[in-house]
Structure 1
Amino acid sequence: MKYEGQICRGPMERSSFMLPVAVGCAYNRCIFCTLFKHLSYRELPMKQIEEELARVREAGGNPKTVFLGDGNAFGLSADRLLEILDKIHQYFPGCESIHMDATVTDVGRKTDRELCRLYEEGVRHLYLGIESGLDDVLLFMKKDHTLEQAYREISRMKEAGLIYDAHIMTGVAGKGRGIENAEHTAAFFNRTRPRRVINFSMFLHESAPLFREIQNGTFCPADEKENLMEERRLLEMIETDALTYDGFHDFIEFRVRGELPKDKEKMLRKLDERIEAETEGKVAIVS
């Protein structure tokens, strides 16, 4: 597979065949993100996409699930996506579902009929970068949506049968606002009811535009203890059924995952142990 840039997809897609259909992110203005800043966004030619499908089929591949890359494949026009879906089904007759990342605005650009057509042709899971349940945080981080827009577009996609999954980031609200952000994000999830939530605790890199906000004092990052406490409050307050959760903390190599509500108490205990270790200054990794 020819792939430019960093491969980025949710852990729930590790068994999916990843088919690149674009390079970079069509939006690419979130100030915390460094994944696509070095890339110039472009759609890949259909010839290249079809060559990759043919290569995999000739190697004996017939995946049940396909994940379209790159940053927000759902930003492609409905007509372009339908053309790609048709090719996927031609080459992989066993394919049952197609998943991809999306922004709230990507959904808003599709008509109700287009959303239904995409569902009819096999699109199932859409991963939306929700990031926070606070409007002022979304504005500061230059997300492409408000909460009101997110509520509207998630309702539209679910009405068409599409499955809504969410990306979030503990720490995105900054120092001292972790619990506030957790409570508002949980309220958002209790209303919108995602099937999956992936939490990448904010990883700050000097190449991110957000780093300049830290240098000039307009953003103060939370430490990992506060991020852990935020995550604990989030999981404590989520009241949806059948939600798969996976949370990462790169700085301390900590991960908590499970099914809600079934695994909630086990996940909270694991977080309590890690928070206690952080409080006492222990460095052992809780895995």
Structure 2
Amino acid sequence: MINYHEPLFRPPSEAHSLILQVSLGCAWNKCAFCEMYSSKTFTLRKEKDVFADIEAMSPYANDYRKVFLADGNAMVLSFDKLSRILDQLHATFPRLTRVSAYAIPKDIAAKTDDELQALAAKGLKLLYVGIESGDDELLGRINKGEDFASTSHALQRARKAGIKLSVMILNGLGGKNYSQQHAINSAKMVNEIQPEFLSTLVLSYPYGEAHFMKKFDGEFIPLDTIGLIAEMKVFIENLNLSQTVFRSDHASNYLILRGNFPRDKQEMLNRINAVLDDPANAKLRPEWMRGL
């Protein structure tokens, strides 16, 4: 069996995947909102150790069809190393249909078009990317290390290479002062990328609001529940997607929304409007349930 270096994170949709740590922590690890890997020093695991983990799971080779490469941005590995890992996975797991990973735009930008296409051909089929926001001012204030142009360009290249994308926007990230521009510009970026999957999470404060405010470059006024939902309305109103699965059903979300764009756009807006028109009778997730 594999002995993981904790904490271990994976997307909800990878619940039944084999998790393989090819790196520890996050290569960037400077975002104001993120504390996921604060206890880890970023390290690339030795290839022999990764291969040993793959070998340790070989008795269960027929049980796995999906593998998720952890930790925070496995795409930071070189093309050659990723290629060898993908080859070893396919040699070990005969029923393997998909390998996926977290990525940040600069990881994708560091790969050539030919390299991205080759990785897709070797089974890297899905990348999860926390866009967080499409607003350049806000991206700077949270120290994301990316901007609208770098994110959009890198992710469009990945899609063109045959790699599907699951992207995430953080509802409430800019607070009251930046809510409108955050919603509108995030929608603009998503429209440019046209990802296969889109989700929204609500900004959380694992170490408290005061801790986040110290890391945020500017004045941060948190949005209340109705403010968060109003921001979602602006975001969804401005989305123009041709074929995207949308989920806003994470434990952090107050209002659960699920649908496909463009088919279900108006239905989701109707649900949001019902809440905004009559907040007192809105059926929202109670505060005590958030995070469960």
TM-score, L = length of structure 1: 0.88
Asked if structure 2 preserves the Cα contact closer than 8 Å seen for 1:103 and 1:129, the reply is yes
Q: Identify the residue that residue 66 of structure 1 maps to in structure 2.
A: 67
More displaced stretch, 55-64 vs 193-202? 55-64
Q: Identify the residue that residue 13 of structure 2 maps to in structure 1.
A: 12
Within-5 A mapping of 1:190-209: 190-206=191-207
More displaced stretch, 57-66 vs 127-136? 57-66
The Cα shift of 1:150 comes to 1.6
Give, as a single letter, the amino acid of the residue that structure 2 aligns with 1:203: S
- Are 2:272 and 1:271 equivalent residues in the alignment? yes
Asked if structure 2 preserves the Cα contact closer than 8 Å seen for 1:131 and 1:167, the reply is yes
- SS class of match (2:174): coil
The Cα shift of 1:121 comes to 0.9
- Alpha-carbon separation, structure 2, partners of 1:213 and 1:40: 19
In structure 2, runs of 5+ residues without a counterpart are none
Within-5 A mapping of 1:152-191: 152-191=153-192
- Alpha-carbon separation, structure 2, partners of 1:249 and 1:13: 14
Q: Identify the residue that residue 259 of structure 1 maps to in structure 2.
A: 260
The Cα shift of 1:254 comes to 4.0
Q: 1:14/1:226 Cα in 2 relative to 1: closer, same or farther (>3 Å)? A: same
Q: Identify the residue that residue 54 of structure 2 maps to in structure 1.
A: 53
- Alpha-carbon separation, structure 1, partners of 2:130 and 2:48: 30
The Cα shift of 1:253 comes to 4.8
Q: Identify the residue that residue 285 of structure 1 maps to in structure 2.
A: 285
The Cα shift of 1:142 comes to 0.7
Q: 1:265/1:205 Cα in 2 relative to 1: closer, same or farther (>3 Å)? A: same
- SS class of match (2:114): helix
- Are 2:193 and 1:212 equivalent residues in the alignment? no
- Alpha-carbon separation, structure 2, partners of 1:275 and 1:239: 22
In structure 1, runs of 5+ residues without a counterpart are none
Q: What do the CA deviations read for 1:125-149 (whole angstroms, capped 9, x no partner)?
A: 1112211110011111111211111
- Alpha-carbon separation, structure 2, partners of 1:89 and 1:251: 36
The Cα shift of 1:283 comes to 7.9
- SS class of match (1:199): strand
Number of aligned residue pairs: give it.
285
The Cα RMSD (Å) is 2.6
Within-5 A mapping of 1:97-108: 97-108=98-109
Q: What do the CA deviations read for 1:29-59 (whole angstroms, capped 9, x no partner)?
A: 1111000011111122333323332333303
Give, as a single letter, the amino acid of the residue that structure 2 aligns with 1:285: R
The Cα shift of 1:231 comes to 1.3
